[in-house]
Structure 1
Amino acid sequence: MKPATSLSSSSSPSPSSLTHFLIYAFVIYLTPTIISGGNETDHEALLKIKSLVTHDPYGALASWNNSFHFCDWEHVYCGKRHKRVTYIELESNGVEGSLSPYVGNLSFLRMLSLVNNSFQGAIPLELGRLSRLRFLFLYQNKFSVVIPANISGCFNLAQIGLSNNELVGSIPKEISFLSKLNFLSLFNNNLTGGIPPFLGNLTSLEMLSVKENPFGGSIPHIVGHLKSLKELYFGGCSLYGTIPDSLYNLSLLINISLGDNHLTGSLHPAIGGKLTVDFSKLRDIYYINLRDNLFGSNEPDEMKFIDSLKNCTGLLRLELGNCNFQGMIPWSIGNLSSQLKFLYLYGNQLHGDLPTSIGNLVGLEMLSLGGNQFAGNVPSTIGNLQKLKVVYLGENQLSGQIPDAMGNLSSLISLYLSSNMLEGVIPSSLGNCRNLLALYLNDNKLSGKIPTPHLQVSSLLVILNLSQNNLFGSLTAEVGSLDMLTILDLSDNNLSGVIPISLGDCGSLLGLSLKGNLFQGVIPQSLSSLKALVVLDISYNKLSGQIPKFLEHLKLEYLDLSYNEFEGANESALSVLGNSRLCGGIVELGLPKLYVWCKKLKRKSHISQTSTNKGFITVAYNQLLKATNGFSESNLIGKGSFSSVYKGTLYEDDGTFVAVKVLHLQIQGAQRSFMRECEAWRNIRHRNLLKIITSCSSADFQGNPFKALVYEFMPNGSLHDWLHSSESTSRLSLIQIMKIFMDIAYALDYIHGDLKPSNVLLDDDMVAHVGDFGLARFLAFISLYKNISTGIRGTIGYVAPEYGVGRQMTSGGDVYSFGILVLEGMTGKRPTDEIFKEGISLHKFASMALRDNIVTNIIDVNIINVYQEEAEVKEIKKEANMKTIIEECVASTVKTGVSCSMNSPTQRMDIKNVVLELQHILNTLQNI
């Protein structure tokens, strides 16, 4: 291109010539853009961003090259008119590296979303140049160092999400200059320096979350200036001092969470004539969480602040547990919202009678008042609460009888009345609670007979604990109808008669304790049917006869037969804790095969047991020692309570990596688990099952027994790491997780498995392989029983409710575990998450969302792409259609997870139908 007018260096340009020159210069400036079809600055910046990416497992940036215009690159969106980059969406793609400072050259950028990747290092200062930026989402990465102060240069910012990173230092004061900010999320970092008062200047804020940071300090009074605030999350910030009065003036608040701090002071509504607490202005509040703090004033009526909640007509959850509250619950608690579902006052110092007005809270699903000093009777008005699923009144001083009205609670799942002073008989009306899974009446003064014929509780009953009472009479044959029972504890009563033969029909039993009673006769042979039994305690009775030989075939880890009248037995010697004691030479037990087996084990521990591992070529200890560089820490890729896994190279000339799982043989049951796992892997072959290469049953150089299994190495780790671990190097997209679900379903259609995310391993191509059929399942129930016996509350986890952890595996149980895994993958929440307790489960959480048509509200933010601002760079119709399709697929996936995890095995989907449904969902997603 030539200039319109030639200019001589010796003459002054005319105005007309000057105009032409400027036009020429401008055209020359734009030439690279016109030639490339876009802005060269943006093109260069994007390539610079790509250059600092060190790992891109799914090829998210593969299209970022010179083959075609950058506006057509994947994850990049441009404005229709100016062809400048306005939106970068790079969520959940496993991208690792640092963020290039060249991002600051994308001057038209309005949204930057790098959510759920593994970007690390500092957030570049150059971001402060992006004056048009409205949305900055960098959460769930590994950004460290400090929040850059010059972020204030992005003066149009409306939303900032920096949560779940490794940021340090304090919140910069400059962030308070962002007058348009309505969303600020900084939770789960390492920020310190207190919650700064200048946050009160952000008067447009609607959501403020800084929870799970070690801030320290107090809550600044000026936070009460945030008149637009709807959600406030300050939990887990090591805060102290009192709650400022100004917070109660935030009339738009719907959610306030200040739990897990060191807050003190009274919540009494009026002290010295001054109003300090007044929830009445928070008319729209639906969630109040003040739990785990240090409130309390030693005043007899400090719970009177409950009065000011009566105007909060939408209140759904009130969590005030472990707060050091004293005094009595006021009658006005019955004036709380009829919508209230969750009332949590556990672990305070409350006393007096339970007010009968509690019966007015007809919306309650969970009532937790345990761990206090309540006295008097259990109010019969509790029977009015037809929606109650969990009642926890344990660890109080309640007396009188259990009211018959308890039988009106037809939705009841768990009833905890343990550790009180309740008297009288167990009411037969409890038989109306057909959905009951757990019944704890232990440690009371209950008398009479066990009403087994009348106590027709739910056929799904899993836990029955009636121990430490004054019950008498015999245990009748009807106990055998409780075929889903996993824990039966009748210890320390005055029960007599014989152990009923029908007890052998309770095939799901993991733990059975009859100790401290007056049982007579022999141990019935029918108990040999209890293949899942792990804990058996029948000590301190009057049992006689021979100790049966079938005990040697049970998988017992705790056996106590002491202080009975067995023939030829030393009374003080018959307490056996774990296999190591079974091998200790207690001849009086009359278990010669066990004893001989243990002696043989010790004598031949240095010999490779090829018969145990039929089908595998075993390797020696020294081979594995060399393969793993002496089992060095640098080769350690995973460690648990019962095994350690090392990366190694088995054959030097091969160079192929393997995973060597070394069992911790000091753990009870590890030896048997090794044999069981070898048996499981002997003849199976499937694309989605973990491939075992060889095994080792030998001794180390000190003569100690050594056992290990050698597996094909899975370079992409476990599904658990991808879903939860902060060390995860990659994240999962919706299509990827759907493919993983498909792989797992295929595996379960082939074989039973111990299914949970940590047992799902991923290869180079992200193909899922199910593995570990042994030790994890074996020891889970030990912890389960110990926790349950002390009053555990909440979900067991992945285990189907009909048989617990130890029962022989069935396809129905596998489907249940798979359903929980699907829901965990979609919601990002473990089944043992803190919110899932007191009868609230992951399954129920998801099913309620389906019922209320709000599935997208519970989906992990890592799963669904963010669509904000996308309408500006795509056709609105197309974008809306795509969003609808994805939401429908997500809802169908959650529905599948819910259908698989139904309590009743007969209501669960068949695994073959699961495969078909998931395949349909995956096809739909891939065809968008």
Structure 2
Amino acid sequence: MNFFFMILLCFASQMLAYFMLPTTVALSLSSKTDKLALLALKEKLTNGVPDSLPSWNKSLHFCEWQGITCGRHHTRVSALRLENQTLGGTLGPSLGNLTFLTILKLRKVNLYGGIPKQVGCLKRLQVLYLDQNHLQGEIPIELSNCSNIKVINFALNGLITGRVPTWFGSMMQLTKLYLGANDLVGTIPSSLANFSSLQLLALPENHFEGSIPYSLGRLSSLTYLSLSSNNLSGEIPHSLYNLSNIQIFDLAGNKLFGGLPTNLNLAFPNLEVFYVGGNQISGIFPSSISNLTGLRNFDISENNFNAPIPLTLGRLNKLEWFGIGENNFGRIILMPQLSAIYASSNNFGGALPNLIGNFSTHLGLFYIDNNKIYGVIPERIEQLIGLIDLTIGYNFFEGTIPDSIGKLKNLGILGLDGNKLSGNIPIIIGNLTLLSELGLSNNKFEGSIPFTIRNCTQLQLLNFSSNRLSGHMPNQTFGYLKGLIFLYLNNNSLTGPIPSDFGNLKQLSHLNLSLNKLSGEIPKDLASCLELTKLELGRNFFHGAIPLFLGLSLRFLEILDLSENNFSSIIPSKLENLTFLNNLDLSFNKLYGEVPKGGVFSNVSSISLTGNKNLCGGIPQLQLPPCIKLPAKKHKKSLKKKLVIISVIGGFVISVITFIIVHFLTRKSKRLPSSPSLRNEKLRVTYGELHEATNGFSSSNLVGTGSFGSVYKGSLPNFHY
């Protein structure tokens, strides 16, 4: 039924094109059909944007248009290739009129919508690439009519849904099938084993479940198998070890269990990449791997292997990626030619040898964190100039960070957390200008935070928590780290205020300064950190009011901890507006007044207000006393009474002041004018001079006596100014 419907659909498309064209020879008719089909396709592909695909115009022959290839013996479109463009449109039905098309590649061109049914009209189609777009919906059954197709690539669309069609098994010419990174569900159909010519099967990053079909072991031509990052379970079928041509074998990130065969080198003699990490595979490490001389990448991390790693692994001189992390091996083999070592979370012990400096300068990734390695960080680590990621945290390293680490200029991640390192954080850290993550937490570092970290402008994560750092946070430092997302300085002995340049951290999501000795008020500059989701300032000496901007600007807050400080204010009701806030700790401050009831305050398990003695109201579960409020009328009368009293007192005070001023001016005006030379100066006369001038205050010099005393006359020989 579908077959006849498809024939009718294709016939209708051709007839429509026929009636749109003038009568002419058959070849010209076909050419014009292709041209009209392409122009209609452009309208859909570009979503009508006129500047897109400028060469697709009527003045040029369509065989000269960008991405178009025509046949050697006819002017029909045989290939359409457009890649790495931002077309932003859809695949229109006119695609079905390009009946001579053998290659269709529309890769990474920002396509939306579904795959049109008219693709089934392309009977000559051999290669179909629609990967790295935003296509959605199910794979149309009409595609099964394209019996000559050899390559299908729908990977990295993300929205292609449904199941892998069972009719795929009828496409006998198929050699490569890419369906990775989509939204496909269900089981992997056993009918895929009918692809006798299939060389590549890539179905990673979907939602497939159930077991791997045993029938896939019949795909004898298969060189590439990737079923990683799904929900597949059960044991790896033994039939897969019959695929002797396999070069890439990737089943990582599933729920597979069981063991690996002891003769892996015989099963896969051409093996180059072997990924089974992130499963539940157990047993011994297959020593036969040492005979896979072409092996480049090997990853069995995050499983349950527990036997020692064979020393013979050292003969794999082509091995570059070596992933054995999160098992229980107990011994590590260091191979100098490696470019990546992932050996985290085993039971490796001993010291890190100084011969690590003999490793290849191509070593880019070095993960040996969460083991039992002790000793100092070797000085010769400076020779690993290719290192991009050095993660050696949660071991027993001690001593200081060697200055030589500052020579690793390509370092993007430095993880030294959870050791016994001590001393100051070296200022040489500022030389690592490409760092995106710097983790020094849970050590014994002392002293101040080096201002040179401001040179690390690429930092996204900075973790100095749980050390013994002291002093003020440096000014004009953190503001340079404008890409910082996570900042953890908690559990130290830092003092002083929060620097104002924290306001430059526009991308900051997590800020933890708790468990320090910081003081001052919360700076208003933090209002600029609009992306904050976690703000933890508890157990410091901050004071003042809880700022209003917390509820106005920081709208994405999920966690707010201001506990065990000296805040003294009401709780701002604006905090009710923080719709994402689910953890609010204001305990042990000096807060007072009414507790809001909306938002986070409506859930007693989301808030902590203990230790604030003067709070009232809130939801009943808080068991706070009710807030006492005066009735509105009484309040108005009381206010009027207060105004009257204030007015009376004010009037009386003004009257008294006026009386005093008038009295003073009146008395002044009655005084005799003083000598001009003495008006602005003080006359300085001693008691002895007065005694002599009045003849010892003789009665002959007495002028008169009044209620305030006696007045004498006398003659002073000299004035002293």
TM-score, normalised to structure 2, is 0.59
Relative distance call for 1:504 and 1:287 in structure 2 (3 A) is same
Task: Give, in angstroms, the shift of residue 330 of structure 1.
Answer: 0.3
Are 2:539 and 1:562 aligned? yes
Distance 1:70 1:419 in 2: 64
Q: Which among 478, 485, 496 is matched to residue 523 of structure 1?
A: 496
Q: How does 1:518-597 map to 2 (within 5 A)?
A: 523=496, 532=504, 535=511, 537=513, 539-541=515-517, 547=519, 551=523, 558=535, 560=537, 562=539, 579-580=550-551
Q: How does 1:62-461 map to 2 (within 5 A)?
A: 77-89=69-81, 93-96=87-90, 98-99=92-93, 103=97, 108-115=100-107, 116=109, 118=111, 120-121=113-114, 123-124=116-117, 127=120, 130=123, 132-139=124-131, 140=133, 142=135, 144-148=137-141, 151=144, 153-163=145-155, 164=157, 170-267=163-260, 269-270=261-262, 275=263, 278-279=264-265, 282=268, 284-296=270-282, 299=283, 302=284, 304-305=285-286, 307-322=287-302, 324-332=303-311, 334-335=313-314, 337-346=316-325, 348-352=326-330, 354-355=331-332, 357-358=333-334, 360-364=335-339, 366-385=340-359, 386-427=361-402, 429-446=404-421, 448-450=422-424, 452=426, 458=432
Paired AA for residue 281 in structure 2: F
SS at match of 1:340: coil
Relative distance call for 1:407 and 1:574 in structure 2 (3 A) is farther
Task: Give, in angstroms, the shift of residue 144 of structure 1.
Answer: 3.4
Task: Give, in angstroms, the shift of residue 432 of structure 1.
Answer: 4.8
CA contact (8 A) 1:149 1:175 kept: no
Q: How does 1:41-80 map to 2 (within 5 A)?
A: 43-44=32-33, 47=36, 56-58=47-49, 77-80=69-72
Relative distance call for 1:421 and 1:577 in structure 2 (3 A) is farther
Q: Which among 446, 451, 475 is matched to residue 480 of structure 1?
A: 451
SS at match of 2:454: coil
Task: Give, in angstroms, the shift of residue 499 of structure 1.
Answer: 1.6
CA contact (8 A) 1:168 1:192 kept: yes
Larger RCO (CA under 8 A, 6+ residues apart): 1
Distance 1:168 1:412 in 2: 40
Distance 1:550 1:240 in 2: 53
Distance 1:88 1:429 in 2: 55
Distance 1:143 1:524 in 2: 53
- Aligned residue in 2 for 1:900: none
CA contact (8 A) 2:233 2:256 kept: yes
Distance 2:237 2:214 in 1: 5
Relative distance call for 1:538 and 1:309 in structure 2 (3 A) is same
Relative distance call for 1:515 and 1:181 in structure 2 (3 A) is closer
Task: Give, in angstroms, the shift of residue 551 of structure 1.
Answer: 4.7
Task: Give, in angstroms, the shift of residue 229 of structure 1.
Answer: 2.7
Distance 1:65 1:553 in 2: 55
Distance 1:421 1:574 in 2: 44
CA contact (8 A) 2:120 2:142 kept: no
Q: How does 1:582-731 map to 2 (within 5 A)?
A: none
CA contact (8 A) 1:504 1:530 kept: no
Output one character per residue of 1:478-509: Cα deviation in whole Å (capped at 9) or x when no partner.
x33443256665443455xx627867656536
Relative distance call for 1:36 and 1:383 in structure 2 (3 A) is same
Write 1 or 2 for the structure with the bigger share of strand.
Answer: 2
Are 2:471 and 1:499 aligned? yes
Query: Which segments of 5 or more consecutive residues in structure 2 lack a partner in the other structure?
Result: 1-17, 555-559, 582-597, 600-721
Paired AA for residue 258 in structure 1: L
CA contact (8 A) 1:362 1:384 kept: no
SS at match of 2:356: helix
Relative distance call for 1:313 and 1:457 in structure 2 (3 A) is farther
Relative distance call for 1:78 and 1:667 in structure 2 (3 A) is same
CA contact (8 A) 2:278 2:301 kept: yes
Relative distance call for 1:70 and 1:528 in structure 2 (3 A) is closer
SS at match of 2:322: strand
CA contact (8 A) 1:159 1:183 kept: yes
Distance 2:70 2:429 in 1: 68
**C-alpha root-mean-square deviation of aligned residues, in Å?**
5.1
Relative distance call for 1:119 and 1:411 in structure 2 (3 A) is closer
SS at match of 2:24: helix
- Aligned residue in 2 for 1:851: none
Relative distance call for 1:290 and 1:58 in structure 2 (3 A) is farther
Task: Give, in angstroms, the shift of residue 266 of structure 1.
Answer: 1.1
Paired AA for residue 444 in structure 1: N
Task: Give, in angstroms, the shift of residue 240 of structure 1.
Answer: 2.0
Percent identical across equivalent pairs? 27
Relative distance call for 1:125 and 1:216 in structure 2 (3 A) is farther
Distance 1:69 1:438 in 2: 54
SS at match of 2:128: strand
Distance 2:526 2:368 in 1: 36
How many residue pairs get aligned? The number is: 533
Distance 1:101 1:502 in 2: 63
Paired AA for residue 257 in structure 2: T
Relative distance call for 1:68 and 1:383 in structure 2 (3 A) is closer
Distance 2:192 2:174 in 1: 11
SS at match of 2:192: helix
CA contact (8 A) 2:430 2:455 kept: no
Task: Give, in angstroms, the shift of residue 294 of structure 1.
Answer: 2.6
Larger radius of gyration: 2
- Aligned residue in 2 for 1:793: none
Output one character per residue of 1:770-800: Cα deviation in whole Å (capped at 9) or x when no partner.
xxxxxxxxxxxxxxxxxxxxxxxxxxxxxxx
Distance 1:476 1:143 in 2: 54
Paired AA for residue 236 in structure 2: I
Task: Give, in angstroms, the shift of residue 327 of structure 1.
Answer: 0.8
Distance 1:43 1:412 in 2: 58
Distance 1:395 1:134 in 2: 51
Paired AA for residue 209 in structure 2: G
Relative distance call for 1:466 and 1:189 in structure 2 (3 A) is closer
SS at match of 1:203: coil
SS at match of 1:219: coil
Relative distance call for 1:505 and 1:68 in structure 2 (3 A) is closer
Distance 1:410 1:426 in 2: 17
SS at match of 2:209: coil
CA contact (8 A) 2:431 2:455 kept: no
SS at match of 1:483: helix
After alignment, is 77-86 or 547-556 more displaced? 547-556
Distance 2:57 2:277 in 1: 53
Distance 1:343 1:198 in 2: 35
Task: Give, in angstroms, the shift of residue 475 of structure 1.
Answer: 1.4
- Aligned residue in 2 for 1:35: 24
Q: Which among 480, 495, 499 is matched to residue 508 of structure 1?
A: 480
- Aligned residue in 1 for 2:698: none
CA contact (8 A) 1:150 1:174 kept: no
- Aligned residue in 2 for 1:467: 441
Distance 1:279 1:124 in 2: 46
SS at match of 2:366: strand
Relative distance call for 1:50 and 1:313 in structure 2 (3 A) is same
